[in-house]
Structure 1
Amino acid sequence: MLNEYVYCPRLFYLEYVQREWATNLDVLQGRYVHRRVDQAAGRVPRAEAVTAEVAIHARSVEIGSEELGAVAVIDVLESDDGQLVPVDYKKGSAPDLPEGAWEPERIQVCLQGLLLRANGYVSNYGVIYYVGDKTRVRVEFTPALVTRTKQLLADARALAVAGSLPPPLVNSNKCPRCSLVGICLPDELNHVQQVTGSRPTAETAHGSDKAGSVAPDVAPARREIRRLFPARDDNKAVYVQGQGYTLGLRGATLEIRDKGQAVDAVRLFEVSQLNIFGNVQLSAQALRALASQEIPILHLSYGGWLQAVTAPPPHKNIELRCRQFQAAADPAFCLKLAKALVGGKIRNSRLLLRRNGRRLPPEALSQLVALRDLVERGTSLAELLGVEGSAAREYFRYFSTMFKLPPDDAPPFDFTGRNRRPPKDPINALLSFGYSLLVKEMVVAVLGVGFDPYLGFYHQPRYGRPALALDLMEEFRPLVADSVVITVINNGEIGPDDFLQRGEAVALLPRARKVFIEAFERRLDQLVTHPVFGYQVSYRRVFEIQARLLARTLTGEIPRYIPFVTR
């Protein structure tokens, strides 16, 4: 990890302390060029047995020193006239530099030499082998390089113990190819810090823009914010709702079977999450394979309520969960965050009505504005709950105005307001199903970032309730779930015959659930312009960005959480 520290202290802290990890093309290519040297082979005698006559060639040699406080795995270890030479493999080509190699690479191989020395071996130089052009670069362990390496090692150890995440690099060319750029969010955090005045003015000279004042909290970017990660996650969310189906593994493929016959299949590396509705069986082999790929399995009731999550061991970023528990015990922080969440939800509800409502009376939108202003003046969570409830009643009072009327002006469904547990009409059945799908998406997002999904700030803890997921989904209820309901009704994808009436309860038939899930996934895959950063990303990616912004709020890197409000 010392080479990561030299390259970027923040990268080192994220990987070594918070145990964040992600892969990109460079990481995969690096694994490929190491595919042989990562296989341990060869013998290394004790230091006193190494002489000029002894030939040594070993791969993947682990060595450590308590005195130095470091360990390393040397790709290849060679002998040269009685001394050992560490050889470090790199995937690219040798750079055109006087030193022959980049500093992080020279520091890394020098540390390997120092570890050999600490174990009694003689090691005066190392080699960096660039696979791209098959070049061997010799790195002499000069006194200056040794001193520099020891100092950087001490600095890295001090940073790890300090417990403070270093600031992101500013407009650095190192960021675009970093595998953790989607976790680090360097440009995004720098922009928020600049426009909120939380970044020291000495750093604003690196091409930053001036602070602005645009609702709700932060001005959009005046200069382009680099989107350094993919706009979409190309992997698929897999849904299985056939009762009695089984899921098994065939090679690297997840196979869906009905009475032993394969009805569908998907390659494991294309799966982002697996959603199982009701009585669907999963083989032990498939479960292990999904866990090894860190693919969450979400177990939902037949009606769509999240009942369990099967996932690998919890995220290793315990530091974030400690901050989460500390912040949840702070009433002032909870109130501040709750205002942002509820305010964002009301803004997005008003936006949806303004864009899609037909013949809205003037008070429909003005009342939501007044309630949004009440949120800013709220003094307790209980007060916010009351304001949110009033806003929801006003919003759903005019919800049916967003449905297209057929030629006879007869609305396809009778909707007078929100009801649930159980829903008593088709629209409420769709809304409840949409919210249940949105909850499980937020659970996946917060688990991926490292949060405990059951400890919220606005929604208070209750047995079995993913309170944090409910917190973060507030601003997305209108934009995602409600929008999908409006779409499937207005496009005629779901009609009155797609529901089952049982007493006062109404439920979706299997075909309608499938149609709604497809529409829901289309919405999550839709690109939307981020109102703060100005680039386009999918809604599913936005969920992750917002969860990471909340994490950076807890760590103090940004002063407040910024809700996602479209314009």
Structure 2
Amino acid sequence: MNTLADDPAAPLAERVVEPLPARMLNEFVYCQRLFYYEHVEGVFVHNADTRRGTALHKRVDSGKGDLPPAAAKKPQAATETPRADSTPEPAAPSPEPNESPQLAETIHSRSVSLASDRLGVTAKMDLVEVRTGAEGDLFAPLAVCPVDYKIGSPREGDNGPEIWDTDRMQLGLQCLILRDHGYTCAEGVIYYRGTKQRVTLAVTAELEQWIMAQITAARRAMLGPIPPPLVDSPKCPRCSLVTICLPDETRLLHEAPAHPDDEDFPPAQETFGFEREFGSVKELPGAYGANAGNGTSAIVATPGRRHPRRLIAARDDTRPLYIATAGVSVGRKSELVQVREKGEVVAEVRISDLSHVAIFGAGTVSTALIQTLCEKDIPVSYFSSGGFFFGLTRGQSLKNVFTRIEQFRVAADGVESLRLARLIVHGKIRNQRTLLMRNHASAPALPLARMKHAAQAALEAENIAELLGIEGAAALVYFENFAGMIKLADDPDEAIIGDQKNDPSASQAAVKPPRRATHDVAGQQLFTFDFTRRNRRPPRDAVNALLSLGYSLLARDCTVAAHAVGFDPYVGFYHQPRFGRPALALDLMEEFRPLIADSVALTLINTRVISPSDFVRAGDAVNLSAEGRKRFFSAYEQRLNTTIVHPVFDYQVSYRRALELQARLLAKTLTGEIEQYVPFTTR
């Protein structure tokens, strides 16, 4: 273990220096920000290039790592004095003229791991060529040559193929480490698989000096803040961490932050009455939502404002697996997830196609599958049969603590927490107001004006208690008018059967008296999708049952997004910490409640995808039946995959991608990479 400072008063990070892997120094030369993410924060994500490189390295990584000693030990001189009468031994006979000297032999050692205390680095070498058995000094150091395999092609220089600087760093380090272990190493070789070429690197004093300077710079970068992103670099599109780094997005918000007086965020040009600073979005044609197909335009591009490159995929190709049938078991067979019911396989899904697994009720999951999912960082979430979110299981892939340190610092600071909470509530109220304007049969002017005022007041709240009051008042107005977005059925066959005579709480009146069937069925009156107010734990009508399940799934997805970024989901800024409550996940979901959960509920009702017969009543509680849950899960996932235009970055993303993007923007706000958090709002 190398020490950088012996002063006990120095910070721990400055007193103890861990060896740097040569691969990380390769990343440092390529991109200092990539080095910081992977080595300091412990973040790594596979893409096609990294998986291809891993596959091509299988052979060299399968070696035992054996390497002959650098030099044979010389025998010690004899200390015994010869006797006077001793007869000298005859000299060894000279070789015959036709006898040739021993030829040199090359030994190939694969997957050799060595370290250098002098340099403070470690390296795993793909291949080391060792030349032994040549004529000369038998006790001289062995001549070695490291060979590193790369999947690409060499750089074309003036004098032919050249080694890239990143490869020069990694290969040069291997040569210096071998020298520190007593070997003779005059050069190294990079084998580029793309062109099947061996390109040689000579070890010179200039190379060693450059490598030492890079090591020093890397150690200095480890102790500082995260380096800024590259500017319009061609390296970014194929980087595996581009969805985490967000180079163009971070630079855009850092150089032109979304400020209340920022002219780059003008009032919306459509007459929705939003004069605040943040951009807005419209859903694309054909989007699956309460007003599917109505939106036809994206945000209005602001002249002079440069939008970032499209570097991230609009949506993920993986999909979730919902287990909502009681008594089923889920296990693993090779690379498949098998779902069994009464011993028979009823479904199979490839593990590589999964984004997460959700277990409702009494389903069981095998330990072997849990271990595999943890290894691949695929979360498993657990719900009650009624949809209450208990928690989730996930792997230990994320080792970053710096984001959490900043999270705890800001959460403990009332002023900074309030600044973030204002924006979160502001975004939520705006989105609730937008949903009313989109879907209400005749949006009343007074409630819309009150919600507009509440959104403005949220930005000026002086404390969390006042902000809670503003949010509550806006929510009251919103849910008082929620029934106006529901297209009630006049068909008495579409109804929930409830025992009104014996269960007076079976249904509540809507904004106007509930529409009831003109006849009874077996003494039970029929009720439609009437809604008066929000109720929960348990939901006591069909609409609230849909909303509660939607909020529960959204809380799960926001918890997963918080974990993926490196947050502690239980420490929030608006929702105060309380035992067992994922406060930060609730913060993240506020802006998306109307856009995702409420929209799914309205779509299911208004498009008749779900009917009152898909609900069951148990006492005061109303829940979805098994078939109803399947329809809900399908609609919810389809909503998450709906493609929208991002309000700030002007490229298409799915709602699922937007959830994680908002979490990452929040993290970058806490670490100081961007000045102000921008809530996600829609038009």
Q: Mean Cα displacement is larger for which, 478-487 or 508-517? A: 508-517
| Partner SS for 1:420 | coil
Q: Mean Cα displacement is larger for which, 551-560 or 80-89? A: 80-89
1:367 is matched by which residue type in structure 2? Answer: R
Evaluate the alpha carbon distance shift between residue 500 and residue 428 of structure 1 in structure 2; reply closer, same or farther with a 3 A threshold.
Answer: same
Query: What TM-score do you get using the length of structure 1 for normalisation?
Result: 0.94
Task: Look up the match of 1:184.
Answer: 245
Distance in 1 between the 2:646 and 2:562 partners?
19
Q: Mean Cα displacement is larger for which, 278-287 or 483-492? A: 278-287
Evaluate the alpha carbon distance shift between residue 217 and residue 140 of structure 1 in structure 2; reply closer, same or farther with a 3 A threshold.
Answer: farther
**C-alpha distance after superposition, 1:76-121 (max 9, x if no partner):** 1112574211111100122212461211111110011111111121
In the alignment, does 2:153 pair up with 1:93? yes
* Correspondent of 2:223 among 156, 161, 166: 161
Task: Look up the match of 1:34.
Answer: 57
Task: Look up the match of 1:76.
Answer: 127
**C-alpha distance after superposition, 1:276-312 (max 9, x if no partner):** 0011111121111111111111011111111121111
| Partner SS for 1:461 | coil
Task: Look up the match of 1:399.
Answer: 482
Evaluate the alpha carbon distance shift between residue 385 and residue 251 of structure 1 in structure 2; reply closer, same or farther with a 3 A threshold.
Answer: same
- Does the aligned pair in 2 maintain the 1:358–1:402 contact within 8 Å? yes
Distance in 1 between the 2:456 and 2:633 partners?
35
In the alignment, does 2:112 pair up with 1:61? yes
- Does the aligned pair in 2 maintain the 1:237–1:275 contact within 8 Å? yes
Distance in 2 between the 1:524 and 1:360 partners?
26
Task: Look up the match of 1:423.
Answer: 539
Structure 1 unaligned regions, length at least 5: 199-208
Task: Look up the match of 2:95.
Answer: none
1:136 is matched by which residue type in structure 2? Answer: R
- Does the aligned pair in 1 maintain the 2:569–2:585 contact within 8 Å? yes
| Partner SS for 1:150 | helix
Evaluate the alpha carbon distance shift between residue 195 and residue 535 of structure 1 in structure 2; reply closer, same or farther with a 3 A threshold.
Answer: same
| Partner SS for 1:96 | strand
**C-alpha distance after superposition, 1:168-221 (max 9, x if no partner):** 1111111001110000000001111121299xxxxxxxxxx9955456545667
| Partner SS for 1:303 | coil
* Correspondent of 1:542 among 658, 662, 673: 658
Distance in 2 between the 1:287 and 1:510 partners?
25
1:84 is matched by which residue type in structure 2? Answer: V
Distance in 1 between the 2:473 and 2:263 partners?
37
Distance in 2 between the 1:478 and 1:197 partners?
23
Task: Look up the match of 2:194.
Answer: 132
Distance in 2 between the 1:52 and 1:225 partners?
62
Q: How does 1:8-27 map to 2 (within 5 A)?
A: 8-27=31-50
* Correspondent of 1:195 among 248, 253, 256: 256
Q: How does 1:275-354 map to 2 (within 5 A)?
A: 275-313=358-396, 315-354=398-437
Distance in 1 between the 2:263 and 2:477 partners?
38
User: How far has the Cα of 1:328 moved from its partner?
Assistant: 0.7
- Does the aligned pair in 2 maintain the 1:195–1:210 contact within 8 Å? no
User: How far has the Cα of 1:564 moved from its partner?
Assistant: 0.5
In the alignment, does 2:348 pair up with 1:265? yes
2:201 is matched by which residue type in structure 1? Answer: V
In the alignment, does 2:559 pair up with 1:443? yes
**C-alpha distance after superposition, 1:509-550 (max 9, x if no partner):** 111111111100000011111000000011111111011001
| Partner SS for 1:196 | coil
Task: Look up the match of 2:570.
Answer: 454
Distance in 1 between the 2:65 and 2:476 partners?
73
User: How far has the Cα of 1:459 moved from its partner?
Assistant: 0.6
**C-alpha distance after superposition, 1:116-143 (max 9, x if no partner):** 1111211111101001121000011122
Evaluate the alpha carbon distance shift between residue 210 and residue 190 of structure 1 in structure 2; reply closer, same or farther with a 3 A threshold.
Answer: farther
2:394 is matched by which residue type in structure 1? Answer: A
Evaluate the alpha carbon distance shift between residue 422 and residue 370 of structure 1 in structure 2; reply closer, same or farther with a 3 A threshold.
Answer: same
- Does the aligned pair in 1 maintain the 2:110–2:126 contact within 8 Å? yes
| Partner SS for 1:45 | coil
In the alignment, does 2:279 pair up with 1:256? no
Q: How does 1:471-490 map to 2 (within 5 A)?
A: 471-490=587-606
Q: Mean Cα displacement is larger for which, 450-459 or 478-487? A: 450-459
| Partner SS for 1:37 | helix
Structure 2 unaligned regions, length at least 5: 1-23, 74-101, 133-141, 268-274, 280-300, 492-513, 517-527
Higher helix share: 1
2:389 is matched by which residue type in structure 1? Answer: L
Evaluate the alpha carbon distance shift between residue 122 and residue 197 of structure 1 in structure 2; reply closer, same or farther with a 3 A threshold.
Answer: farther
1:33 is matched by which residue type in structure 2? Answer: L
User: How far has the Cα of 1:404 moved from its partner?
Assistant: 2.3
Distance in 2 between the 1:294 and 1:38 partners?
23
Evaluate the alpha carbon distance shift between residue 361 and residue 212 of structure 1 in structure 2; reply closer, same or farther with a 3 A threshold.
Answer: closer
Evaluate the alpha carbon distance shift between residue 32 and residue 210 of structure 1 in structure 2; reply closer, same or farther with a 3 A threshold.
Answer: farther
**C-alpha distance after superposition, 1:200-258 (max 9, x if no partner):** xxxxxxxxx99554565456673342121211111111100110100111111000000
Q: Mean Cα displacement is larger for which, 115-124 or 305-314? A: 305-314
Q: How does 1:359-398 map to 2 (within 5 A)?
A: 359-398=442-481
Query: What TM-score do you get using the length of structure 2 for normalisation?
Result: 0.79
Could you say what the CA RMSD is over the residues aligned between the two structures, in angstroms?
2.0
Distance in 1 between the 2:121 and 2:263 partners?
44
Distance in 2 between the 1:254 and 1:458 partners?
39
**C-alpha distance after superposition, 1:351-393 (max 9, x if no partner):** 1111111112211211100111111110001110010000000
User: How far has the Cα of 1:56 moved from its partner?
Assistant: 2.4
Larger radius of gyration: 2
Q: Mean Cα displacement is larger for which, 216-225 or 272-281? A: 216-225
Q: How does 1:196-215 map to 2 (within 5 A)?
A: 196=257, 211-213=264-266
Task: Look up the match of 1:205.
Answer: none
* Correspondent of 1:145 among 197, 207, 220: 207
User: How far has the Cα of 1:313 moved from its partner?
Assistant: 2.5
Evaluate the alpha carbon distance shift between residue 212 and residue 514 of structure 1 in structure 2; reply closer, same or farther with a 3 A threshold.
Answer: closer
- Does the aligned pair in 2 maintain the 1:192–1:218 contact within 8 Å? no
Paired residues, what number?
556
Q: Mean Cα displacement is larger for which, 234-243 or 139-148? A: 139-148
Distance in 2 between the 1:350 and 1:26 partners?
45
Distance in 2 between the 1:8 and 1:545 partners?
22
- Does the aligned pair in 1 maintain the 2:377–2:397 contact within 8 Å? no
- Does the aligned pair in 2 maintain the 1:52–1:80 contact within 8 Å? no
- Does the aligned pair in 1 maintain the 2:488–2:530 contact within 8 Å? no
| Partner SS for 1:309 | strand
Distance in 2 between the 1:433 and 1:35 partners?
46
Distance in 2 between the 1:217 and 1:534 partners?
16
- Does the aligned pair in 2 maintain the 1:314–1:450 contact within 8 Å? no
- Does the aligned pair in 2 maintain the 1:193–1:558 contact within 8 Å? yes
**C-alpha distance after superposition, 1:410-452 (max 9, x if no partner):** 5941111111111111111111111001000101111111111
Task: Look up the match of 1:117.
Answer: 179
| Partner SS for 1:64 | strand
Seq. identity, % = 47
User: How far has the Cα of 1:150 moved from its partner?
Assistant: 0.9
Distance in 2 between the 1:192 and 1:554 partners?
13
User: How far has the Cα of 1:406 moved from its partner?
Assistant: 4.3
- Does the aligned pair in 2 maintain the 1:194–1:210 contact within 8 Å? no
Q: Mean Cα displacement is larger for which, 495-504 or 258-267? A: 495-504
Distance in 1 between the 2:370 and 2:619 partners?
39
In the alignment, does 2:66 pair up with 1:43? yes
